[in-house]
Amino acid sequence: MKQNINWHEYSQFPHLSQIECLGEDIQTAQHLSILHDDFKNRLEDIVTMEISPWIITPFNELEEENVVLQEELLQLSTNAELKPNIDNLLSIHQVHPSH
């Protein structure tokens, strides 16, 4: 496709044959194409790098984690099986404050 434009071969695109293409335009297009390829090669490792979501949106992740922790705390605080154990630990701590 690019070669066809360079050679002014527009048979596949009849509307392009009516447009006058200047040499400067072709040089500019070639230069931009070379720049694009150069940047693509130079930045390939950055583009393919996998970035953790918490780096991109750190505050969203904290809010989600905070909600999870709040839910776990709520489950622990309402757990009927743990209530006697917690009360027992509190009474031991009050009797022996050095522990």
What is the Cα–Cα distance from 26 to 35, expressed in whole angstroms? 14
Q: Would you state the pLDDT for residue 47?
A: 84
State residue 38's pLDDT score.
95
pLDDT score of 80: 81
Q: Which whole-number Å values give the CA distances from 89 to 73, 75, 78, 94, in the listed order? A: 18, 19, 17, 9
Per-position pLDDT tens, the chain of length 99? 556 556 666 677 777 667 676 678 778 888 999 999 999 999 998 888 888 877 777 776 666 677 788 888 888 888 888 778 777 887 877 766 665
Q: Return d(Cα 46, Cα 21) in angstroms, integer.
A: 36
